A and B are shown apart, each in its own frame.
Chain A
Amino acid sequence: MTERLATAPGAAQAASGPWPLRLSDVTVRYPNGTVALRNVSLSVAPGEMVSVVGLSGSGKSTLIRTLNGLVPVTSGHVEVGPYAVDELRGRRLRQLRGSVGMIFQGFNLADRTSVYNNVLVGRFSHTPTWRTLLGLVGHDDRDVVMAALDSVGMLEKVWGRAGALSGGQKQRVAIARALSQEPRVMLADEPVASLDPPTAHAVMSDLRRINSERGLTVLVNLHLMDLARQYTTRMIGLRGGELVYDGPAAPADDAVFEEIYGRPIQARDTLERSS
Chain B
Amino acid sequence: MTSLPVPRRPRSWPRVAAVVAVIAAITAVTVTPALGGIRVDLGAIARNWHYGAHHLAQMAQLDFSILPRTAKPLLETLEMAVVGAAVAAALALPLSLWAARPTNPGPSRRAVRAVLNVVRSVPDLVYATLLVAMVGVGALPGVLTLVLFDLGVVVKLVSEAIDSADSSYMEAGHAAGGTQTQINRLTAAPQAWPAYGSQVLYSLELNVRISAVLGLVGAGGIGRLIDEVRGFYRYGALAVIILEILVVVIAIEVASNVLRKRLR
Contacts and interface: CB of A to CB of B under 8 A. Distances in A.
Interface of B: 168-169, 171-179, 181-183, 185-188, 190-191, 193-194
Contact of A132 (B169, B171, B175, B185): B185
A127 B172 contact: no
B177 A95 contact: yes
Contacts of A129: 179, 181-182
Interface in A100-129: 100-102, 104, 106, 108-113, 117-118, 120-122, 124-125, 127, 129
Interface in A169-208: 174, 177-178, 181
Nearest to A135: B185
Contacts of B171: 70, 104, 108
A109 B188 CA distance: 11
Contacts of B186: 110, 113, 117, 120-121, 124, 132
B94 to A, nearest CB: 10
A98 B176 contact: yes
B172 A98 contact: no
A110 B162 CA distance: 12
A94 interface: yes
B172 A104 contact: yes
Contact of A124 (B169, B182, B190): B182
Contacts of A106: 168
A117 B187 contact: yes
Nearest to B171: A108
A118 B193 CA distance: 15
Contacts of B178: 94, 121, 124-125
Contact of B175 (A100, A110, A113, A135): A100
Contacts of A22: none
A122 B176 CA distance: 6
B191 A96 contact: no
A124 B187 CA distance: 12
Nearest to B190: A113
Given A117-B186, A124-B183, A133-B185, A181 B177 contact: yes
Interface of A: 68, 70, 93-102, 104, 106, 108-113, 117-118, 120-122, 124-125, 127, 129, 132-133, 135, 174, 177-178, 181
A47 B202 CA distance: 55
A84 to B, nearest CB: 17
B176 A121 contact: yes
A108 B172 contact: yes
Contacts of A120: 186
Contacts of A110: 169, 186-188, 190-191
B147 to A, nearest CB: 24
Interface-central residue, A68, A95, A99, by most chain B CB under 10 Å: A68
Given A94-B177, A110-B169, A132-B182, 14 more contacts: A98-B177, A102-B175, A110-B190, A111-B191, A112-B194, A113-B186, A113-B187, A121-B169, A121-B186, A122-B176, A124-B183, A125-B178, A129-B179, A135-B185
A117 B194 CA distance: 17
Contact of A113 (B172, B176, B177, B191): B191
Contacts of B185: 132-133, 135
B181 A109 contact: no
Contacts of B176: 97-98, 101-102, 121-122, 124-125, 177-178, 181
A181 B177 CA distance: 9
Contacts of B175: 68, 70, 97, 100, 102
Contact of A108 (B168, B181, B193, B194): B168
A102 B177 contact: no
10 contacts: A68-B175, A70-B175, A93-B177, A97-B174, A108-B168, A109-B169, A121-B178, A124-B179, A133-B181, A181-B177
A120 B182 CA distance: 10
Nearest to B188: A110
Contact of A96 (B169, B177, B194): B177
Contacts of B182: 124, 127, 129, 132-133
A180 to B, nearest CB: 9
Nearest to B192: A112
A95 B171 CA distance: 16
A133 B186 CA distance: 8
Given A132-B181, A132-B185, A133-B185, A108 B174 contact: no
A132 B185 CA distance: 7
Contacts of A117: 186-187, 190
In the A-B complex, the 5 residue pairs with the smallest Cβ-Cβ separation, listed nearest first, are A125-B177, A124-B178, A98-B177, A97-B177, A113-B190
Given A118-B187, A125-B177, A132-B182, A104 B168 contact: yes
Nearest to A114: B190
A121 B172 contact: yes
B49 to A, nearest CB: 52
A109 B185 CA distance: 14
Given A124-B183, A129-B182, A112 B177 contact: no
